[in-house]
Structures are given as C-alpha cells and as structure tokens.
Amino acid sequence: MQIKNEELGIDVVLVELLQHHIEKFTEKMKPNEAMPMPLYRGATIRSAIESGWIHSPAWVVADVNNMKPKAVRWLAGELANIYASSMDVSSFL
C-alpha cells in the first residue's frame, strides 16, 4: 500500500500488515496514550517504523525529527486509519 501526499513531500510504501506488525506497534504505542498530541503523532510514526510497517523509504526513527509538523500530523493520521482498517471485520458481518 502506498501513502502519498505530493504537497507534503510524503511517498511511503507500507508492507502488508500482519499480526506481528500490529502487536509490536500496539506495544510501542501503549505507554504514549497520555502524551500531548504533537508528541503522540511523532510516536505513531516512530512506532510504525520500529514495527516494520514501512517498506520504503528506508526511514529510521531519527528521520521523524526532521519532518515538517504538518507532514507528521498527516502521516500519523493515515497510519492510524490503516491500523484501524487492518482490524475491521464489518465487511464479514
């Protein structure tokens, strides 16, 4: 799956999310629940990187520090939507 926003300079390709990706991401995000929103958004992207979600580009956690805040906000929202949809079973009900 590709996540792209030309205006923000984001072009990310995700791996197919499997259970181990979701488990690792959830473990990393749990301690961050009470963070202020800008920190939480950065943690969302860092957790996705650490959990192996991103196929390309070859980002490391430190790369998030150099992103524009509006790009972090947008990408974190997209990743949150993908996280939620990866567990959606409504189409089977």
Q: Is residue 66 situated within a structural domain?
A: yes
pTM: 0.89
pLDDT tens for 22-55 read 999 999 988 777 889 999 999 999 999 999 999 9
- Residue 68 in any domain: the answer is yes
pLDDT tens, 7-21?
999 999 999 999 999
Does some domain include residue 92? no
Q: What is the mean pLDDT of residues 50-77?
A: 95
Give the pLDDT score at 91: 63
Q: List, as one string, the DSSP characters of the chain.
A: -EEEETTTTEEEEEPPP-HHHHHHHHHHHGGGTTS-HHHHHHHHHHHHHHTT-EEES---GGGGGGS-HHHHHHHHHHHHHHHHHHT--GGG-
Q: Is 93 within a domain?
A: no
In a domain, 20, yes or no: yes
pLDDT at 57: 92
Q: How many domains does the chain have?
A: 1
**For position 82, what pLDDT does the model report?**
94
Asked if the structure places residue 41 within a domain, the reply is: yes
Output the pLDDT for position 92: 63
Q: Which domain holds residue 46?
A: 2-87
